[in-house]
């Protein structure tokens, strides 16, 4: 009767629910999941939940999961493939209905194995070449292009780029957008103006030091994420450079911190919450129909102009 699988009178139903409240009775979720062959739990694996961008994506996953009646188990792999594999085994033991996956790197082996085992998977914020899997990702090439074109429109021609780790496709795509914009406006790509960081503030700080040490330093810099842009602002400020008068700086992601730097950070906003929510919607579709062809959704980005450039 609790599951409303057959008709009972309203009077009897009210008496049963009253007794349940008095006895503090709760249905056995494990027994119910065994009967339904679904746990209403989904997993999410991320390489670093402390990274503000991924924290906002995870919030989108949790909000959408809650709305659709799913509990979300978030696992932080700390960018380690072995730890990622351990969490995959844990989620399988928990009998989750599906997994939203932000891979630790560009390795596709773990996702491929899950697919072969019949586990519904949606890859978020990564492209995994060679794997037929549902994917939701922002337009990273467009992000790099938007940021660089904005700096060109401001009159800059010697534009530096603080790129992210080479092993991450999103970093390379943002860098490709930077190069594409320079080429579109007839500006030569100079390799000495491209310095790699680690997507952290410290990486941006050190990369900016290298750029400013050049015989001809850039008049503007595109940092491939906001944390590195914050580090770049710190370096420029310590050199007593005025931002944006002496050097303009534009980031990418539009994390909450971007509005509160000094000066406030111009950046390219990624649809972080929407990306997480869409990943869950796609996962639920996959749970319902495992036979449908994989889909790839590319979300647009928006330039947010503030005070840094």
Whether 173 and 144 have beta carbons less than 8 Å apart is answered as yes
The reply to whether 185 and 152 lie within a common domain is yes
Instruction: Please report the pLDDT score of residue 19 as a whole number.
Output: 61
SS3 293: coil
- At 164-195, the pLDDT tens digits run 998 888 999 999 999 999 999 999 999 999 99
Q: Show the tokens assigned to 54.
A: 């991924």
Q: How many domains does the chain have?
A: 2
The reply to whether 263 and 282 lie within a common domain is no
Instruction: Please report the pLDDT score of residue 69 as a whole number.
Output: 96
Is 162 inside any structural domain? Answer: yes
The reply to whether 262 and 165 lie within a common domain is yes
Is 215 inside any structural domain? Answer: yes
Whether 226 and 193 have beta carbons less than 8 Å apart is answered as no
The reply to whether 278 and 134 lie within a common domain is yes
Instruction: Please report the pLDDT score of residue 35 as a whole number.
Output: 47
The reply to whether 278 and 132 lie within a common domain is yes
Sequence-separated (6 or more) residues with CB below 8 Å from residue 259: 265, 306
Is 3 inside any structural domain? Answer: no
The reply to whether 167 and 75 lie within a common domain is no
pTM: 0.86
Instruction: Please report the pLDDT score of residue 130 as a whole number.
Output: 85
The reply to whether 55 and 93 lie within a common domain is yes
Instruction: Please report the pLDDT score of residue 24 as a whole number.
Output: 63
Question: What are the residues facing 196 on neighbouring strands?
Answer: 163
Going from the C-alpha of 263 to that of each of 78, 230, 236, the distances in angstroms are 31, 10, 11
CA distance 254 to 249: 13
The reply to whether 19 and 48 lie within a common domain is yes
The reply to whether 118 and 160 lie within a common domain is no
Instruction: Please report the pLDDT score of residue 248 as a whole number.
Output: 98
- At 72-116, the pLDDT tens digits run 999 999 988 899 999 999 999 999 999 999 987 666 789 999 999
Is 304 inside any structural domain? Answer: no
Is 289 inside any structural domain? Answer: yes
Write out the H or E segment, with its range, that includes residue 194.
Answer: strand 194-196
Is 76 inside any structural domain? Answer: yes
Instruction: Please report the pLDDT score of residue 7 as a whole number.
Output: 60
Instruction: Please report the pLDDT score of residue 20 as a whole number.
Output: 61
Instruction: Please report the pLDDT score of residue 29 as a whole number.
Output: 46
Whether 270 and 276 have beta carbons less than 8 Å apart is answered as no
CATH of the domain at 220: 3.40.50.2300
The reply to whether 239 and 215 lie within a common domain is yes
Q: What is the largest CA-CA distance in the chain?
A: 86
Instruction: Please report the pLDDT score of residue 33 as a whole number.
Output: 44
CA distance 129 to 46: 19
The boundaries of the domain holding residue 290 are: 10-138+273-299
Residue segments in the chain with a per-residue pLDDT below the cut of 70: 1-8, 12-14, 16-17, 19-20, 22-37, 105-107
SS3 114: helix
CA distance 137 to 275: 7
CA distance 277 to 286: 14
The reply to whether 155 and 72 lie within a common domain is no
- Which residue in 238, 233, 239 sits closest to 263, CA to CA? 233
Is 56 inside any structural domain? Answer: yes
Sign of CA dihedral 48, 209, 212, 248: positive
Instruction: Please report the pLDDT score of residue 50 as a whole number.
Output: 92
Instruction: Please report the pLDDT score of residue 168 as a whole number.
Output: 86
The reply to whether 86 and 144 lie within a common domain is no
Residue written as token pair 């996953």: 61
Is 306 inside any structural domain? Answer: no
Query: Any idea what DSSP says for residue 192?
Result: G
């Amino acid at each position: 009767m609790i599951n409303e699988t057959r008709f009972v009178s309203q009077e009897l139903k009210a008496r049963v629910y009253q007794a349940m409240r008095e006895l503090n009775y709760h249905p056995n979720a494990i027994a119910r999941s065994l009967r339904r062959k679904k746990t209403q739990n989904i997993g999410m694996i991320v390489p670093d939940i402390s990274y503000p961008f991924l924290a906002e994506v995870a919030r989108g996953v949790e909000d959408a999961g809650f709305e659709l009646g799913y509990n979300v188990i978030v696992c932080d792999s700390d960018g380690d493939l072995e730890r990622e594999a351990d969490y995959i085994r844990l989620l399988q033991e928990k009998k989750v209905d599906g997994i939203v996956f932000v891979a630790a790197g560009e390795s596709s082996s773990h996702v491929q194995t899950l697919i072969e085992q019949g586990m519904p998977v949606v890859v978020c914020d990564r492209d995994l070449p060679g794997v037929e899997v549902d994917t939701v990702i922002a337009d990273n090439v467009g992000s790099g292009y938007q940021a660089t074109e904005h700096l060109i429109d401001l009159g800059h021609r010697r534009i530096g780029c603080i790129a992210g780790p080479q092993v991450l496709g999103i970093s390379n795509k943002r860098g490709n957008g930077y190069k594409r914009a320079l080429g579109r406006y007839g500006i030569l790509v100079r390799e000495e103006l491209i310095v790699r960081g680690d997507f952290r503030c410290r990486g941006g700080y050190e990369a900016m030091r290298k750029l400013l040490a050049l015989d001809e330093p850039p008049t503007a810099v595109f940092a491939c994420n906001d944390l590195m842009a914050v580090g770049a602002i710190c370096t420029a400020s310590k050199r007593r450079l005025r931002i944006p008068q002496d050097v303009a700086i534009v980031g990418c992601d539009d994390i909450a911190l971007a509005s509160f730097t000094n000066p406030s950070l111009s950046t390219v906003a990624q649809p972080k919450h929407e990306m997480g929510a869409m990943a869950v919607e796609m996962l639920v579709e996959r749970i319902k129909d495992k036979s449908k062809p994989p889909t790839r959704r590319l979300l647009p980005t928006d330039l947010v102009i503030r005070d840094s450039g």
